Amino acid sequence: MKIGIIGATGNAGRAIVIQALSRGHEATAIVRDPSKAAEVLGADVPVLARDAFDLTAEDLRTFDVVVNAFATAPNHARRHVDLARELVELTRGNESPRLVFILGAGSLRTDGDHHLLIEDLRQMPGADAWVSIPENQLRELEYLRSVTDVDWVGISPSAQFEPGEARGVVLGTDELLVAGDGTSHTTTGTMAVAILDEIEHPAHRRQRFTVGDR
């Protein structure tokens, strides 16, 4: 399949590119800086040099799937929602790619009362400096859940999302997952495996699921 990865030079995006190529797919890095893509991914990975907000419907129609691994600074966190809206508008209609969104863990439920994890995140020391990101990823999911005419899927990691090799894949729906060591974490490698599994064998349509390390 032809897979475009927005944010391909980030930790999650790079893992997705590597996983896609290892399975024989055509992976294209959608990035602003081609030289950085060559440095991070190697010169052989095709690049579409484009700011994510400058993508066109014609750009996206060249792919079977577009994975949104977009990341931004906390003071621009609202752009998570803005980009989701842009991509949805560009893919309405025929011959459009499937959209895959990496979302945050803040929208997952946890503990016996099943409250949203974002409530705990807001109470953490220093949260004011970064909590806008999971808050806006929650808004992104709320927006996506209103979209019924585009083929999208969202995937949330566990509480800790960190670079690393795949450690086995455990899937869930809306509850925060806990790994075998008693903590909640997902590596970028585990996320990449789950995303490619979903791309190859779609099991979730217009819904979010979560993935954690085993």
What is the domain-level CATH number for residue 54? 3.40.50.720
| CB burial of residue 73 (10 Å; 0-12, 13-18, 19+) | exposed
pLDDT digit string (tens) for 114-172?
999 999 999 999 999 999 999 999 999 999 999 999 999 999 999 999 999 999 999 99
Q: What is the mean pLDDT of residues 32-57?
A: 96
Residue 34 is part of which domain span?
Answer: 2-212
CA distances from 50 to 7, 8, 31, 71, 95 (A): 10, 12, 6, 15, 21
- What's the total number of domains in the chain? 1
Confidence of residue 95 (pLDDT cuts 50, 70, 90): confident
Question: For position 93, what pLDDT does the model report?
Answer: 81
Read off the pTM.
0.96
| CB burial of residue 30 (10 Å; 0-12, 13-18, 19+) | buried
C-alpha 75/C-alpha 27 separation (Å) is 30
pLDDT digit string (tens) for 51-74?
999 999 999 999 999 999 999 999
pLDDT > 80? residue 94: no
pLDDT, mean over the chain: 97
